[in-house]
Amino acid sequence: MASIDVESVLLKLTDREKVSLLAGIDFWHTKSLPQHGIPSLRLSDGPNGVRGTKFFNGVPAACFPCGTALASTFDKELLSTAGRLMGSEAKAKGAHVLLGPTINMQRGPLGGRGFESFSEDPVLAGLGAAALINGIQEEDIVATLKHFVCNDQEHERNKVDSIVTERALREIYLLPFQLAIRDSKPKAIMTSYNKVNGLHVAENPKFLKDILRGEWGWKGLIMSDWGRTYSTSEAINAGLDLEMPGPSRWRGPAAVLAAATNKLRPRALDDCTREVLNLVNECAKSGIPENAPETTRNTPETAALLRRLAAESIVLLKNGGNILPLEKEKKTLVIGPNAITSTFCGGGSAALRPYYAVTPLEGITSKIGDENVTFTIGAYSHKELPDIGPQLSSLPDGSLKGVAFVAYNESPAVKDRQSVDTLKFETASMMFVDYKNPRITSDLWYADIEGFLAADRDGEYEIGVCVYGAAQVFVNNKIVLDLTEIQRQGSAFLGCGSAEEKALVPMKKGEIYHIRVEFVSAPASKLSPRGVVFGGGAVRIGGAWKINPEEEILKAAALAKEFDQVILCIGLNMDWESEGFDRPDMTLPAYLNKLTTAVAAANTSTAVVLQSSTPVEMPWLSDVSALIHAWYGGNEAGNSIADVLFGDVNPSGKLSLSFPIKNEDNPAFLNFRSEGGRVLYGEDVYIGYRWYEMLKRPVNFPFGHGLSYTTFQFSELHIENGDAILKVSIKVSNTGVVDGAQVVQVYVSQDEPGIRRPVKELKGFSKVFLKRGEEQVVKIEIPLKYACSYFDERMEQWVCEKGGYKVFVSDSSRIEAQSCCLQGAFEVGKTYWWSGL
């Protein structure tokens, strides 16, 4: 793919050709004009991996830890390395443009896509994203910063009006974008679904023209989020360069007519087309040809980096009695639903088919041996029944694990119908967004999905299905579920799917059960989709043995008394945290709190492994001695958890979010959903730790918190204010007995601000690795105007006020008398206002 002379090509294009370049041709590709040397470009979802072009039957990929996990490394160098791996993964998938990272702010703990985003703090989000982007773009892959701006909830996300003060916009919601643009210059930006203060961002010239291109001087392509271009003339005039996906709903003949009748501002069509052509030249640097084949790069080096990323994101929250690290030689009891599931990512467009996925139980047994490990479930954590595919075999003899998929043009009522496609899958969760087969002759088509379950016990087996289309479920040719005429709206499949319907099937140990689902594609759906509408349809088949949770909890607690060390794996998964819906509350799934309390009481040497991408309530916190937070860890989640539990990795992660005690404590509690078509950002600039500190409200764990298996000491703080740079240096000493890493966090507060400001705010950070007994001077430089300023709404500029400022250097946002907390001060000699970067 060759570069082009942008201005020369632009002169040759007709208006119709220009318009054709301003929208995708399908879900992932832009328009080519070979006669002008313009190739088609491929875009692919991040942000936690590179899916490629397929939701259905995709080529396996590296799955990275989720966004809140990556931010919790507080390690810009490591994030740049992760970005380079993402760039390499994009090349393997033939993708020129990666749709990530996501840096929307965590107003509260309930956001459905919270796992994609980085943090509640704009500086951590902005600097972390910049590091990741720099790595991606070092590989000549275009990174896409998203979603610009205030796309912070899923409830009515495409129509909600986010009502935000200008100060909060600047200091909280725009700032991470501003910092990332300043430090990494991403080549593309994706607009958000929502409105801000009355107008969709995708057609708002204030954000796209005045701030992005004007004030910040950013150069690059602006694209819509998928399906969220809302107009023709307004969007083009505002500077929305590319409508995705295709085929276009807005940029066909209507845009040509708008250009011919002066509905478009002068040069608007040329401006947008120029950005598409500039993007072509940026993508040409990668050397990726048009329509490149999709491949994998599942190498030992990839696995090693993913394992390191996941391990360094894990946060040791509590370690009473130094229970952790555990001893490899001791018999170990593992309890909990998250032990046998690899919770590698959240749900929605960020999900992908991983190269592999290691469960915590697999990681633990691999480290200390099967003979040293006993497992019991204790309770379930699923919201929808677990994917039945891995439990089935596509042949009655138990060989060939998974399910058979057979597609047809005719319904099962047609005698002797002929199949048009036959595939095998390990999963029974399928989205047919991009399923194409030339032998399928209509949008309405049919498929049988079937497998065989070998019952390993007597009991009731629960089968469930949710569908976008229609489905009937048969067990041994007897219908047990029918979702053809009556369907309830659910949240599956980006909001298009039905709620899960379930049936109980009595089974006997040793018998084989044939399970078959007759699926009908999307046109058969009885629902009105609430989310991103796509063709093909979708189906998810789940299954699990019915258990008595009270009995299982008693069993787990009794077993816990018999072991010297216990690992309890609990948490959420993509059932609970996903694009398309927000969490209703902060609670764990039913019975997990009761399980945790019972096991902790039975054995005080219990280490709890908690997996979620956002905070959960912990009513049992005072009962447990040891607790680690492991987020959603990607392919290597299970191995990284085992590495930390048994001390092969000294934990060094720091919380990228505050963990409140209860949902009612969080700053967005009264304002986190659409009410009458709008959401009021009533907490203003006080999100996250800013809120808890201002109200002196206690939290379970503060922002930036994270313990270690060693100890550290800070000393010799020096602060220098000169040449528009605030320079902070501090000596960090590893005073413990093992090697480890510490994060130096720099917070700044103003002594006498002109308006009310947060108690303090994070302005810089640095991670340092030290061998035991080693010490090192850490230097952090912060532009003075970023360290001191707030946004003056009257002047419509940032203001850096004359006066005194305090610097707090700590290992978390909680400032208290300890070995890792020092305080200093500096002065600003005069007041000045500024704009731009």
Q: Hey, which residues are catalytic here?
A: 225
For residue 477, give both structure tokens.
């040719």
- The Cα 708–Cα 397 span in angstroms is 50
- End-to-end CA, the chain: 34
Which residues, 6+ apart, have CB-to-CB distance to 414 below 8 Å? none
For CA atoms 274, 276, 279, 280, the dihedral sign is negative
- CA-closest candidate to residue 408, choices 309, 521, 307: 521
- The Cα 140–Cα 287 span in angstroms is 9
Per DSSP bridges, beta strands 803-810 and 740-750 are antiparallel
Do residues 789 and 746 touch, judged by C-beta distance below 8 A? Answer: no
Do residues 404 and 430 touch, judged by C-beta distance below 8 A? Answer: no
Residues in the chain: 837
- CA-closest candidate to residue 645, choices 356, 358, 332, 301: 332
DSSP string covering 570-635, please?
A: EE--TTTSBTTB--SSSPPSTTHHHHHHHHHHH-TTEEEEEE-SS----TTGGG-SEEEE----GG
Name residue, tokens 């309930």. 110
- Secondary structure in 3-state letters for 75-89: CHHHHHHHHHHHHHH
- In 689-750, DSSP assigns E strands to 699-701, 712-722, 725-734, 740-750
Amino acid (1-letter code) at residue 467 = V
Coil, helix or strand at residue 57: coil
CA angle 543, 546, 550 (to 5 degrees): 140
- The Cα 587–Cα 672 span in angstroms is 16
- The Cα 494–Cα 205 span in angstroms is 29
- The Cα 92–Cα 293 span in angstroms is 8
For residue 525, give both structure tokens.
């759906």
